[in-house]
Structure 1
Amino acid sequence: MARTGRVRVDYRGLSVGEYPAACYRQARQLFVIDEDLAPLMIYAAGLTGRNPETLKELPAEHRLLEGRAVAVTVTKRRRGKANSRTTVHWSVDGDPTRQLRTSGSFYLLMHRMMARSRAFSGTTSVWSIWAGNGRGGVRHASTGGHTGPFDAELARKLHLGRWARRHGLVDDNGAPLQMMLTRIKKTVEARTAKQVGGHLPSARLTNTADTSFAYYLRGDPFVREWAADVLTEAITEAEGNARAVVARLGGADVDAVPDRVRTQAAAGELDTLASACVDIEHGPDGGRCEESFLTCFRCPNALVMERHLPALLALAEALREDLQQRDAEQWTARHEVIWQILTGDILPHFSPAQRAAAQQTRPVLRLDLLDGPKELP
């Protein structure tokens, strides 16, 4: 049988109905048969993460790279586009007892398993089986029943459901598992995405990050639940970072503010008009500060936090209104520096969401307050 490729069975004592099963039992001692395709394809999909069409078109031709990797040119079928061919490099485990651990070792194992059949079928595919009984016996008579199972059509039935039932596989509800190779690919994509923390450029195996998400990850319930947790954590962290916005004016280092002073500022104990003063005893001109609030926006003692945002927005609105009532040159001479610092250096620290929230509690500020307290007559 190994020499000719033709299966010989001693039918004595067998009924006619038992002939096919006897042939398959005899054949599978040397060759891969139809029934073997299901577990091989399932394992190949789970190990490589490739789609069924690409796996069915795996070629027999390959290059072994220093015994560490195997280079295989695979075909990727695209919807509405020309098919593309690319060379993949699958790692090979040097330990022969670990042939099921890496994609390269498994490919080489399949290559050896079907090499004898390929010699008779003449296929260029890595897949070659003996299918001599029934319809295959007539169609492949010239090759002794050997054929490339996916040469004529990729839609060859693999009977995955039958294989799953034989192994008692059930879904989460206890019903018979609907085994699908595309579902296995989605599982691989989801598992890989979780392993790399959701970083899609790193997670993608065979597609772009956009395609991996749109076709394999977005609809997966486990990925949705996992991604929701990740997103919630990210939003919470981003919100915390945003609320921790602290800006020190006048070019001073915000990290140099002592924790005790920052705590006082956060509690409102050091507030001036629209900021906090971290050292009122040492003003710009020396000694206790007696300058107007205009000076705060250029003073290194000024500290701006989120709690000052409503007053800052109110100040910006007051400056805009003042521009409508005052000569432009006069307004520029008086308020241009403050306006530039306010709109260019301070407000950009805060997010649109923070600004929208601060608008709800915006106080009314009179610009004459910027000149400092007035003595009563």
Structure 2
Amino acid sequence: MPAEVLRDPLALKLSLPGEASTVIVIGDLPNPQLAADLTEGLAASIHPHGPLAKLTTVKSFTYTLRRMVRELADDGFTGSAAELTRAVLGAFWLRSHYLIEYRTRTILRAFDTRHQVLPEPVRQMVFGKNYTRPTLNGPLPPYAPAEWNRLIDLCKQEVRRLGEAQRAMIALAEGGQDPAVGGWSEVNGAWLMLRMGPVTRTEVAAHLGLTPRTFTGRHRGIERARAALFPSHKDAIPYMLLLAAWTGIVPDGLTGLQVSGIRWTGRQATLLSYTKGRTADESLVLSPRASRLLEQWLQHSALLRGHAPAELAEHVWLVTRQGRLARAAFEEYMMRGWVKAHDLRGDDGGPLRIDRRRLRTTFIAQRGQRQWSLRATVDPNHSPQVEGDHYLSAATPAQKAVVEEIARDAQSDLLRRASTPLVVDEAASAAGLPEEAGRLGLAEGALGELLSGERDVFSGACADHFAGLHGPKGQPCPARPWVCLLCPLALFAPRHLPNLLRLKAFFARQFRQMPREQFAAVFAPYARRLSAGWCPAEWCSSDLCIAPGHGAAIAQLSE
């Protein structure tokens, strides 16, 4: 079972994916029966039966569970979950914010799905819509260039300082000896910790045959030597921040890195595998500087890893916490303490708030600026591939057909723009006129009618007005004037330019009067074609230019 409820005392035993077995104590609450029911609902919400798959998320649900029991007890409710009423739940949810309501609804839904004990009115309320709505703050902006440079420079400086301090302490410890023989000194203490690991004062006192109080009163230097030899939480922060800034890995994937997920494929190439919570296992080829940084951290933590048990040694971010081995968590309060200790300031003059999600946002923004790109995304936190997969993917056959039609139109437009218009003089036109007329399929006398203007429509000349693509054969084409701009039967000459300019003005008026969505659906393709170029030869439907001297005609019209 991924989650099991323990009764005495009330607790929740978890076995989450990628995590060691954990027991979360619920504690003594004023309504033990309601607390037990909600704990069962929380256990039913654990992966794979429910949406909760991370230890931090389960702990936040546990906090909300305790809060609900205490607040309902203050309201005078002393029954079990089966005795809840709409009035009790409604009063609690109306005074709570969105996350409290969401978590308690999730717990009650899972509990009722398993036991089916809620009264029907309460069940309809629990499975209904939320009273409150989440506050949407919009996409996270990237860090300002000055803030980003200060953060990166500080992290590089700290990485160099920590590495030099460790190497200096190791060199110092090589000249020491066992303090039980040579007496206590910082050098001998470093010698001892190289062999015993990050020992505490109590363990060193036992090794020397002294009581902890006697050792504490007489000897100093154990904390300084331990901090230099073995990385702590605050020492891992600059490494983690630099790796996040140089790779763009999501925060949960970066925190859960495993040593087995690192594959060295060369002197400066590394394949890093990690787990992204919202998707699955992913991999990334690190840049040379990110590979060197990861190698530096593994060297810095190698001494500590040699004294760690197998289940802890597998974690990349292995640190010491009060002399004990632990896995780094990188909580927000640790980041605030690190920023305060180094007096890192933002552009507003206050302490710089480090958000690991903004590190990824800044990485993506800078990557888009380093190379030429026409990238435009809905959310700057997403890559174009992510937005294409999740936001622009066609879900139904009709949507797929529309997307394919748009792609075909775009490809055809690119081909038309790539073709070079043929502009020749009168002699060349006369020599090639019969061949061009035959290629276009013009009947006898049709070319004369085109040149004389007898087959003119509003915006151009029509090769066959009774064989239009927008109406029945043999009948005059019913298409509106702007449809000719995309019709393959239309031919354009300088004499049509005044009407084309009037049509362009008509489009401008419609754009000001109509909603953008409606204009895009009705007029946008034709307006785009008309705005592609002023000279008709640049977007003529055929390679035959029936009227040379376009520049002179346009100049006359301009006058």
Q: TM-score, normalised by structure 1?
A: 0.50
Q: Point out where structure 2 has 5 or more consecutive residues left out of the alignment.
A: 1-192, 205-214, 391-409, 435-443, 478-482, 493-523, 532-559
Partner Cα distance (1:212, 1:25) in 2: 50
**Amino acid of the residue matched to residue 104 of structure 1?**
S
User: Contact 1:38–1:158 at 8 Å: present in 2 too?
Assistant: no
Which of residues 436, 442, 447 is equivalent to 1:295?
A: 447
Partner Cα distance (1:165, 1:118) in 2: 29
User: Contact 1:75–1:85 at 8 Å: present in 2 too?
Assistant: yes
* Residue-by-residue CA offset, 1:154-189 (whole Å, 9 max, x unaligned): x64462223233434333333332111111110001
Residue of structure 1 in register with 2:236 after alignment:
37
Residue of structure 1 in register with 2:274 after alignment:
74
User: Contact 2:467–2:476 at 8 Å: present in 1 too?
Assistant: no
**Amino acid of the residue matched to residue 295 of structure 1?**
L
Considering Cα pairs closer than 8 Å and 6+ residues apart, tell me whether 1 or 2 has the greater RCO.
Answer: 1
Which of residues 144, 147, 165 is equivalent to 2:326?
A: 147
Which of residues 127, 131, 150 is equivalent to 2:321?
A: 131
Partner Cα distance (2:490, 2:253) in 1: 56
**Amino acid of the residue matched to residue 30 of structure 1?**
L
SS of the residue aligned with 1:311? coil
In 2 relative to 1, CA 159–346 (structure 1 residues): closer, same or farther, beyond 3 Å?
A: farther
Give the fraction of aligned pairs with identical amino acids, expressed as a percent: 19
Q: TM-score, normalised by structure 2?
A: 0.36
In 2 relative to 1, CA 189–341 (structure 1 residues): closer, same or farther, beyond 3 Å?
A: closer
Residue of structure 2 in register with 1:343 after alignment:
487
Residue of structure 2 in register with 1:90 after alignment:
286
**Amino acid of the residue matched to residue 184 of structure 1?**
L
Number of equivalenced pairs: 248
Question: Deviation at 1:36?
Answer: 1.2
**Amino acid of the residue matched to residue 228 of structure 2?**
Q
In 2 relative to 1, CA 49–194 (structure 1 residues): closer, same or farther, beyond 3 Å?
A: same
Greater fraction of residues in helix: 2
SS of the residue aligned with 2:488? helix
Which of residues 192, 195, 202 is equivalent to 1:3?
A: 195
- After superposition, where does 1:173-322 map in structure 2 within 5 Å? 173-198=348-373, 209-211=384-386, 254-255=421-422, 257=423, 284=433, 294-295=446-447, 311-312=459-460
**Amino acid of the residue matched to residue 64 of structure 1?**
W
User: Contact 1:193–1:199 at 8 Å: present in 2 too?
Assistant: no
Partner Cα distance (2:332, 2:274) in 1: 21
**Amino acid of the residue matched to residue 70 of structure 1?**
T
SS of the residue aligned with 2:272? strand
User: Contact 1:63–1:70 at 8 Å: present in 2 too?
Assistant: yes
In 2 relative to 1, CA 344–105 (structure 1 residues): closer, same or farther, beyond 3 Å?
A: same
Partner Cα distance (1:29, 1:156) in 2: 22
User: Contact 1:64–1:70 at 8 Å: present in 2 too?
Assistant: yes
Question: Deviation at 1:297?
Answer: 8.3
SS of the residue aligned with 1:63? strand
User: Contact 1:37–1:158 at 8 Å: present in 2 too?
Assistant: no
User: Contact 1:170–1:176 at 8 Å: present in 2 too?
Assistant: yes
Residue of structure 1 in register with 2:527 after alignment:
353
Is 2:233 the partner of 1:47? no
SS of the residue aligned with 1:71? strand
User: Contact 1:24–1:33 at 8 Å: present in 2 too?
Assistant: no
Residue of structure 1 in register with 2:224 after alignment:
25
Partner Cα distance (1:317, 1:171) in 2: 70
Partner Cα distance (1:196, 1:190) in 2: 11
What is the root-mean-square deviation in Å for CA atoms of aligned residues?
5.2
